[in-house]
Structure 1
Amino acid sequence: MPDSISSPPPRILCVAIPTPLRRLFDYLPSRDTPPGGWQPGLRVRVPFGRRQVVGVVMECRDHSDLALTQLKPVEAWLDAVPLPEDWLWLCRFTARYYQHSLGDTLHQALPVLLRQGRPLAGRMREHWQALAPPGDDDPRLRRAPRQAELLGMLRQHAHGLPTQAVVAQGFSREQLLTLMEKGFVARQEIPLSAAEPATEQLLAEPALPLNREQVTALAALHERLDGFHPCLLHGVTGSGKTEVYLQLIEAVVARGRQALLLVPEIGLTPQTLARFRKRFRVPVVALHSGLTDNERLDAWEAVASGRAPIVIGTRSAIFTPLARPGAIIVDEEHDGSFKQQEGLRYHARDLAVARAKHHAIPLLLGSATPSLESLYHAERGNYRHLRLTRRASRHAPARLELIDLRGRPRQGGLIPPAIEAIRETLEAGHQVLVFINRRGFAPTLACHTCGWMADCDHCDARMTLHRQPPMLACHHCDKHRPVPDACPGCGSADLRPLGSGTERTEETLAALFPKVPVHRIDRDSTRRRDAFEQTLGEVRRGEPCLLVGTQMLAKGHHLPHVTLVVVVNADAGLYASDFRALEHSAQLLIQVAGRAGRAAHPGRVLVQTLHTDDPHLRLLAERGYDALAEQLLAERRAAALPPFRFMALLRLESPREEAAMTLGREAAAMLRPWTSEHAPDVSCLGPVPAPMERRQNRYHVQLMLSAGRRSQLHAACAQLTAWLEASPEARRVRWSLDVDPQTLS
Structure 2
Amino acid sequence: MVYVEVILPLPLNKFYTYSVPDEMNGEVESGKRVLVQFGKRKLYAAVIRRVLTTVPDESIDYRPILFVIDALPVVTSQQLQYWEWLADYYLCSVGEVMQAALPAHLRIESKTRMLINPAFEQHESLSEEEHNVLNILSHETIYLNEEKQKINIPNFLSILRTLVKKEAVLLVEEVEESAQPRLEKFVRLTPQAADEIFLKESLDRLTKAPKQKDLLETYLRLSDAFGDSPEPKPVKQKLLLEVTQSSYASLKALIEKGILETYSLAGWEIEKEDESVENLPVLSSAQQKALDEINSAFAEKSVVLLHGITGSGKTEIYFHLIAETLQKKQQVLYLLPEIAISYQIIRRLKRAFGDRVLVFHSRVTNKTRMEVYHQVLWNANSIGQIVLGVRSSVFLPFTHLGLVIVDEEHENSYKQYDPAPRYHARDAAIVLAGMFQAKVLLGSATPSIESYYNATTGKYGIVKLNERYHGVELPRMELVNMTAARKRGNIQSHFSQILLDAMKRCLDEGKQVMLFHNRRGFAPYIQCQSCKYIFCCRHCDVSLTYHKFPQSLICHYCGFSLSMPSVCPQCQSSNLKIRGFGTEKVEEELAIFFPDAMIGRMDQDAVRSREAYDEIISRLEQGEIDILVGTQMITKGLDFAQVGLVGILDADSLINYPDFRAFERSFQLMVQVGGRAGRKNEQGKVIIQTHMPEHPIIQMAIRHNYEAMFHSQLPERKTFLYPPFTRLIYLSLRHTHDNKCEAAAQMLYQKLAEKLHLQVLRPQKPIIPRINNQYIYVIHLKINPSASLTAIKSYILACIEQVKRVHSTVSITIDVDPQ
- Structure-2 residue corresponding to 1:581: 662
Q: Deviations over 1:422-478 (max 9, x none)?
A: 111111111100111111111111223332222112112111111121111111111
2:477/2:687 contact within 8 Å kept: yes
Distance 1:642 1:249 in 2: 32
Query: Does the C-alpha gap of structure 1 residues 293 and 506 become closer, same or farther in structure 2, counting only changes over 3 Å?
Result: same
Residue in 2 that maps onto 1:231: 304
Shift of 1:219: 1.8
Aligned counterpart, 2:35: 45
Name the counterpart of 1:3: none
Give the corresponding residue for 1:189: 264
Q: Does 1:270 align with 2:347?
A: no
* CA-CA distance at 1:175 after TM superposition: 3.9
Q: Which residue of 1 aligns with 2:427?
A: 350
Look up the equivalent residue of 1:48 and give its one-letter code: F
CA contact (8 A) 2:480 2:496 kept: no
Instruction: Determine if contact 2:5/2:16 at 8 Å carries over to the other structure.
Output: yes
Q: Name the SS for the 1:722 alignment partner.
A: helix
Per-residue Cα deviation, 1:695-722 (whole angstroms, up to 9, x for no partner)? 1111011111111126534422222223
Identity %: 32
**2:46 aligned partner, one-letter code:** G
Deviations 1:392-444 (A, max 9, x none): 13322114322112262654521222111111111111110011111111111
- Can you list the C-alpha shifts for 1:147-188, whole angstroms capped at 9, x where unaligned? 235445545645554344567787555543432454544544
Q: What does 1:493-532 align with in structure 2 at a 5 Å threshold?
A: 493-532=574-613
Q: Given the superposition, is the C-alpha separation of residues 224 and 374 from structure 1 closer, same or farther in structure 2, using an over 3 Å criterion?
A: closer
Contact 2:308-2:314 at 8 Å conserved across structures: yes
Please list, as runs of the form range in 1=range in 2, the aligned pairs for 1:348-497 lying within 5 A after superposition.
Answer: 348-406=425-483, 408=486, 410-497=491-578
Q: Is the 8 A contact 1:646 1:710 kept in 2?
A: no
Task: Give the aligned partner of residue 7 of structure 1.
Answer: none
Deviations 1:240-260 (Å, cap 9, x if unpaired)?
Answer: 111111100100110111111
C-alpha distance in 2 between matches for 1:513 and 1:128 = 58
**Selected match of 2:7 from 16, 21, 38:** 16
**Greater mean deviation of Cα atoms: 322-331 or 490-499:** 490-499
SS of residue paired to 1:691: coil
Cα separation, partners in 2 of 1:710 and 1:346, compared to 1, 3 Å:
farther
Name the structure 2 match of 1:94: 86
What are the residue-to-residue correspondences of 1:556-635 with 2, within 5 Å? 556-635=637-716
- Structure (1 or 2) with the larger CA radius of gyration: 2
**1:701 matched to 2:777:** yes
* Map of 2:186 onto structure 1: 127
In 2, Cα distance between equivalents of 1:75 and 1:294: 26
Distance change >3 Å, CA 447–CA 26, structure 1 → 2: same
Residues 179 and 367, structure 2, Cα contact 8 Å, conserved in 1: no
CA distance in 2, matches of 1:316, 1:585: 26
From 298, 308, 333, give the equivalent of 2:409. 333
Correspondence for 2:253: 178
- After superposing the two structures, state which structure 1 stretch, 338-347 or 608-617, moved more: 608-617
Aligned to 2:273: 198
Shift of 1:21: 2.1
- Count, aligned residues: 724
Say if 1:30 and 1:337 are closer, same or farther in 2 by CA, change over 3 A. Answer: farther
CA distance in structure 2 between the partners assigned to 1:449 and 1:167 by the alignment: 74
Determine which of 797, 805, 811 is the counterpart of 1:728. 805
Q: What TM-score do you get using the length of structure 1 for normalisation?
A: 0.92
Cα displacement string for residues 551-604 of structure 1 (whole angstroms, at most 9, x for unaligned residues): 111101101100100011111121211111221121111111010000122110
1:140 partnered with 2:213: no
Paired letter, 2:251: L
C-alpha distance in 1, partners of 2:301/2:707? 26
What is the CA RMSD across the aligned residues, in angstroms? 2.5
Secondary structure of 1:523's aligned partner: coil
Instruction: Report the Cα distance in structure 2 between the residues aligned to 1:593 and 1:421, rounded to whole angstroms.
Output: 15
- Asked if 1 retains the 8 angstrom alpha-carbon contact of 2:650 and 2:689, the reply is yes
Range that drifts further, 620-629 or 650-659: 620-629
**One-letter amino acid of the counterpart of residue 203, structure 2:** D
Q: Equivalents in 2 of 1:105, 1:385: separation in Å?
A: 32
Q: Distance in 1 between matches of 2:403 and 2:644?
A: 35
Alpha carbons 1:44, 1:57 under 8 Å: kept: yes
482 and 218 in structure 1: CA distance in 2 versus 1, 3 angstrom threshold: same
CA gap of 1:197–1:38, structure 2 versus 1, over 3 A, is closer
Structure 2 portions without partners, runs of 5+: 110-176, 224-232
CA distance in 2: counterparts of 1:55 and 1:593, whole angstroms: 49
Letter in 1 for 2:798: A
Task: Find the residue that maps to 1:530 and give its secondary structure.
Answer: helix
Q: How far, CA to CA, are the matches of 2:202 and 2:91 in structure 1?
A: 74
Paired residues of 1:288 and 1:317 also in contact (CA < 8 A): yes
**2: CA distance, partners of 1:221 / 1:14:** 44
Check conservation: 1:18, 1:103, Cα contact below 8 A: yes
The 10-residue stretch of structure 1 (94-103 or 524-533) with the greater mean CA deviation from structure 2 = 524-533
Alignment partner, residue 174 of structure 2: none
Query: Which AA in structure 2 matches 1:214?
Result: Q
In structure 2, the residue corresponding to 1:485 is in which secondary structure? coil
- Distance change >3 Å, CA 284–CA 405, structure 1 → 2: same
Corresponding residue to 2:287 among 182, 193, 214: 214
Q: Cα offset for 1:42?
A: 2.3
How far apart in 2 are the matches of 1:381 and 1:295?
41
Following TM superposition, by how much is the alpha carbon of 1:279 offset from its aligned partner in structure 2, in angstroms? 0.4
Q: 1:228 to 1:286 in 2, by over 3 A?
A: farther
Letter in 2 for 1:144: A
1:353: how far off? 1.1
2:186 equivalent to 1:110: no
Partner in structure 2 of residue 4 of structure 1:
none
Q: Deviations over 1:305-350 (max 9, x none)?
A: 1346111100000111112111111111111111001121001100
| Structure 1 unaligned spans of 5+ | 1-9, 677-681
Write the distance in 2 (CA, Å) between the matches of 1:93 and 1:586: 33
Amino acid at match of 2:806: E
Q: Secondary structure at the match of 1:732?
A: coil
Question: Which has the larger displacement, 125-134 or 378-387?
Answer: 125-134
**Cα distance between partner residues in 2 of 1:586 and 1:124:** 49
1:683 equivalent in structure 2: 759
- 1:195 deviates by 6.9
Query: Structure 1, residues 258-303: CA drift from partner, whole Å, max 9, x if none?
Result: 1111011111122211111100145210110001111101001101
Evaluate the alpha carbon distance shift between residue 73 and residue 137 of structure 1 in structure 2; reply closer, same or farther with a 3 A threshold: closer
Secondary structure at 2:573 match in 1: coil
1:662 to partner: Cα distance: 1.2
Correspondence 1:318 to 2:413: no
What is the CA distance between 1:613 and its match in structure 2? 2.2
TM-score (normalizing by structure 2)? 0.84
The Cα of 1:666 is off from its aligned counterpart by 1.3
Q: Higher helix fraction: Structure 1 or Structure 2?
A: 2
| Helix, strand or coil at the partner of 1:304 | helix
| 2:77 corresponding residue in structure 1 | 85
Q: Which residue of 2 aligns with 1:279?
A: 352
* Equivalent pair of 2:84/2:94 in contact (CA under 8 Å): yes
1:261 equivalenced with 2:337 (yes/no): no
Aligned CA distance change for structure 1 residues 65 and 34 (closer, same or farther; 3 Å): closer
User: Could you say what secondary structure the match of 1:688 adopts?
Assistant: coil
Q: Measured at CA, do residues 729 and 141 of structure 1 come closer, stay the same or move farther in structure 2, by a change above 3 Å? A: farther
Cα 1:194/1:629, change in 2 over 3 Å: farther
Q: What amino acid is the match of 2:105? A: L
1:658 equivalent in alignment to 2:734: no
Partner Cα separation in structure 2 for residue 455 and residue 120 of structure 1: 42
